[in-house]
Structure 1
Amino acid sequence: MSNTKPLVIGALFAIMAALFQSLPVIFSEVFVLFTIFSAIPIYIVARINPKAGVLSYLVAAMLIMIISTHEGLFFLFTNGAIGCSLGISSSYTNKKAIIWASSSIILTVTLSIMNYGIGIPVFGTKLPGALYLQLFILFLVSVLYNVIYSYLGDFIYKRLVKYNIFRK
């Protein structure tokens, strides 16, 4: 692939990610469930080209921040981080356990930053128990979410590759 093609694909997919993440702001909170799909474009770009994936992640975050700081933070620390970490991990290895573990650690760290550093409860309420128990709960949720998201991302990625969407 030439140097320009990943950048163009990355820019287009960054816009798609920003649109998915901004749906609740643009229309209404009824569309909040659709924000989970904002990670798919980032995952695809990061899997094709990790550098372009990181760039798409940052560009999408900036675009979303223009529309809503709240949604931008959620994208940076949840959906965008998932898409970027799963895509980059998938581009370097096919071992699911490594992909899930690395992405889950990254998601646990970003959720912790949001929950404890910024003060936005990621589950809408304070987690029960001591800090270690809370981190363990965050990690378990991260693993479950990454496993499910990995299968969804792989399914969509393989369909796009099958139909030569990324041909030269």
Structure 2
Amino acid sequence: MIFLLLFPVLVLGEIQLQSNVSSNVTFEDNERFQEQEHFHVFSHCNEDLLGKYSLLICWDQFHSEMKDINKELWCEWDQVIRPYNELTKCIESLTTYLGCYFPNQVVQDFFIQIHSSFFQACPEEEELFPDAPSGVVLTLTLIPVSLIPILVFLVVWKSKICD
């Protein structure tokens, strides 16, 4: 596993970081602060290699973990959170190793592919409870409301008897 992650460094050579650290700072005043993939160390991103290695390393690992989970449980977040978290960490590590900005378009496409392969049949939102019939709501509202005047009358009547 470590060899596969180090392979791009061995093939492409060591990624050279800029020696001037102060030029590697991005301030919010700069209107392009959200376009980090075009800045600094991320300009040496090999997106083709990122796509290949994400499939080779992260996809295979996630796929083997998902095979161990019953297909009917793929929509249960409690069942898939660990493999999904491992997939996210794998992609993030791989992206950083290859000198790419995380997240980027390759990573986004990769996760779309994952979701279309494994989670396409899952409902987008949890099912909401249906509204109760109006007769039930009316009955459950009127009973306590009608008891209030009766209880007030009993308290006043009891206090008059005690005096």
Q: Which has the larger radius of gyration?
A: 2
Per the normalisation by structure 2, the TM-score is 0.29
Bigger helix share? 1
Per the normalisation by structure 1, the TM-score is 0.28
